Amino acid sequence: MEENKFEFVQFDEESSEHIAAPVYSYWKSVWRTFFKNKLAIAMLVVAIFVIIFSLIYPRFSGYDIAAREHVMDFSRRYISPNAEFWFGTDNIGDSLFDAVWAAAGSSLEIALIVTAINLTVGIIIGALWGYSKKFDVIMLEIYNIVANVPFILILMVLSYIIGQGRWQFIFAMTCTGWMGIAYFMRTQVMIIRDREYNLASRCLGTSTMTMIVKNILPFLISVIVTLVSRDVPGNIGYEVFMSYLELGLDVNTPSLGRLISSYQAFMNVYPYLFWIPVAVLATVTISLYLVGQFLADASDPKTHM
Amino acid sequence: MSNNQEREVLLSCRDLKVSFPKGKEKFYAVKGATFDIYKGETFAIVGESGSGKTTIGRAIIRINDSEGDVIFKGKKINGKLTKAEDREVIKSIQMIFQDPATSLNERANVDYIISEGLYNFHLYKDEEDRKKKVVDSLKSVGLLQEHASRYPHEFSGGQRQRIGIARAMVMEPELIIADEPISALDVSIRAQVLNLLKKLQEEKGLTYLFIAHDLSVVRFFSDRIAVIHLGEIVELASSEELFLNPLHPYTKSLLSAVPMPDPEVEKNKKLITYDGSCHDYSVDKPKWVEIKEGHFVRGNDAEIAMYKKQIENK
C-alpha cells in the first residue's frame, strides 16, 4: 500500500447542510397528488360537465318554467326519450332535458350561494370563537340554544314566516346554518391554538388576526375543503327536500325538488319522468362530493411525501 | 464574581409569583423568586420537571401573567404597558424554545418564519433589506441562503433549532430566554447548538437566561446558577461556587446525581436523596440570605448558622 495514493478528505460543513430534495410547494403538491388519482380525474370531468351544463345550458335553451308554451300541444306530451328529446317530454309538453338542467342549475346555484355564505361566516366566527376564551363563553350558550332546535324545523318555520322563493330560502338556510360550521371550526382551532409555534409568534408580537390567517387557517385547508365537499351536496339535498315538501322555492323557480315532487305521480306510468331527475340529482351531488373528498385528501400534506 | 455590585443589572425579578387557576383556588407554580441577571452573563435556572423553571421564563417574556415585579432595564414590564413600551420589550427579550419539532410553523417557509418579527414591527427599510437580514441571520447560525425557501419539515432537529435561534436573533434582542434549547436534540448535535449560542453571545454581547435540567451542561455553559425546587429558588451562586460549596440539601442531591464518565467513581458514588421533611419551618420561617458574597441560599436561622459553619470549615 502506497501512502501517497491516499489523501485526506476534508469535512465540508456547508455541503452537510445542503438539502437535495427539490423545493417544496404546497399547492403544486396538492395538484400532483390529486391528478395521480384516475377516479379523481374522472369525477372532476363529470363535475365540470355537470356544472357547465346546469349553469350555462339553461341560458341558451330558452326554457321558461312559467311560460308553459307547449301546454296546448297534446302531441308533445309524454314523448319517451328519443333523438329529438333526449330525456323525453313531460305532462305539459316541455322538454325534460331543458327542464332538468334548468332545475339542476338553479338548485346548484342556491347550494353554492348558501355554502359560500355559511362557510365565510362560519370560518370567520369559528376562528375567533376558538381563539378567544371570552368569546367562547358567550358563543357556547348561543350555540347550545340553536343546536337544540332541529334545523329542518327552523327552515320550515322561517319559510312559513317569510314565504317561498329563492332569496327567502337562501336567507332561511344561512340564518343559523353557519353555526354548525363555526362550532366545528372552533374545535379545530382549539386543537392548534396552543401549539408551541403559536407561543413563538406571540413572543414575536404577532397580532391575533395574523396568527389566525398565517398560523391556524393554513393547517385547516384540508378540513375546510372537506367541509365544502360535504356542504354543497348537503345544501342541494336540503333544497330538494324542502321543495319536495313544497316549502322551499316558489312554483316559478325551477328546482330538482319541485321536479321530483311533481313527477312522482308518473313513477309507474312514465318512469323516465321520475328517474331522470333523480339520476341527475345523484350525478350532481356524488360527483361534487367525490371531487371534494379527493381534493381534501390531496390538500393534506401527509399525502405529499 | 466579586464585582457584582458594579455590574449593570439587565433584568431583575422581585418576589415573582406565577399562579394557575386550580378549581376556585390558585396554584402557585412559582412562589416568590428573587434574582438579578447581569448584562452579558449567562444565568441558568436548574430544577426538576415541574419545578417552575419554564414558568419563570414564560413570566418574563409575558406569556404567563405574574405577580411581583419583573424589572427590565429599570422598568417594570409585567402588567399593563403602553404600546410603545410593549414593542420595545418584545424586541429586547426573545425566546428559544425547547422542542424544535413543534416551535416552527409547518406551513410557512423559513423566510417567513425568520421575518415574522421583522414584519410585525416593520424593522426593515425595503424588501431587499429584509431579505438581507434573513440571509445574514441564516448564515450566522450556519445555515445556507437557499434554505430560506424551504419548509421546516425538510430540516433535521439541529437545523430546526438553529432556525429558531435565527428567528430570535434577527430581532437583535438584548436578553434571550433559552428554554431547555438542547433537551430535545440528539446528543451529537447538542454541542453544536451550545457552541453556536456561545459564539453569538460573544459576537453580540447577549445575555442569556438558560433554563435546563442537565447540570453538566449548565456548569460548562453558565456564569451563575439558580437552583429551583417546587417553585422556590433554594440556592443561587456562581457556577464554580455552587459546584464547590453546595449548601442546600436539594442542591447537594442534584449534584450527586450528575453522572461521571469514570466507572470507578460511579461505582463508589453515594447518591444523596432529598427529602423536604428535613427542614423544620413550622416556627422558624425560611429566608433568602446572602451567605457569602454572591452566594444566596434559602433557609431558616438554624440552617443558616449551620451553612455558615460548613463554609468556614472548608
Q: What is the CATH number of the domain that holds B179?
A: 3.40.50.300
> What's the pLDDT at B159?
92
pLDDT at residue B3 above 70? no
B125 to chain A, closest Cα gap in Å: 19
Q: Indicate whether B4 belongs to any domain.
A: no
Helices (H), A132-265: 133-147, 151-162, 166-193, 196-203, 208-210, 221-244, 256-263
> Is B230 part of a structural domain of the chain?
yes
Region A140-167: what's the mean pLDDT?
Answer: 89
Partner-chain contact B159 A199, CB within 8 Å: no
**So what's the pLDDT on residue A73?**
72
Cα B151 from Cα A148, distance rounded (Å): 44
Answer yes or no: do B147 and A199 touch at CB < 8 A. no
Q: Is A150 within 8 Å of chain B by CB?
A: no
CB pair distance less than 8 Å for B150 and A214 = no
C-alpha cell at B91: 424586541
In a domain, A7, yes or no: no
Q: What confidence tier does A255 reach under pLDDT thresholds 50, 70, 90?
A: confident
pLDDT category of residue B168 using cuts at 50, 70 and 90: very high
Say if residue B4's pLDDT is above 50: yes
Q: Tell me the pLDDT of chain A averaged across its residues.
A: 86
Percent of chain B, pLDDT > 90?
Answer: 49
Report the residue from B106, B120, B159 with minimal CB separation from A204: B120
Total domains in the fold of chain A? 1
The pairing of beta strand B42-46 with beta strand B207-212? parallel
- Label residue B5 by pLDDT band (50, 70, 90): low
| A215 with B105: Cβ contact below 8 A | yes
CATH number (domain holding residue A183): 1.10.3720.10
Q: Is residue B2 part of a domain?
A: no
Q: How many CB pairs under 8 A join A and B?
A: 78
The pLDDT value recorded for residue B275 is 84
User: Cβ–Cβ contacts within 10 Å for residue A23, how many?
Assistant: 12
Does the CB of A174 have a partner CB in chain B at under 8 Å? no
Establish if B1 belongs to a structural domain.
no
pLDDT at B1 (0 to 100): 45
Burial group, residue B9, by CB count within 10 angstroms (0-12, 13-18, 19+): middle
Average pLDDT over residues A76-96: 75
* B29-51 tens-digit pLDDT: 999 899 999 999 999 999 988 89
In a domain, A2, yes or no: no
- Mean pLDDT value across residues A133-146: 92
- For residue A73, is it within any domain? no
Share of chain A above pLDDT 70, in %: 99
**Domain ranges, residue B276:** 9-313
Contact assignment for A197 to B159 by CB distance below 8 Å? no
Residues 6+ apart with CB under 8 A from B58: B18, B64, B179
pLDDT exceeds cutoff 80 at A54? yes
User: Is residue B215 domain-resident?
Assistant: yes
pLDDT at A302: 76
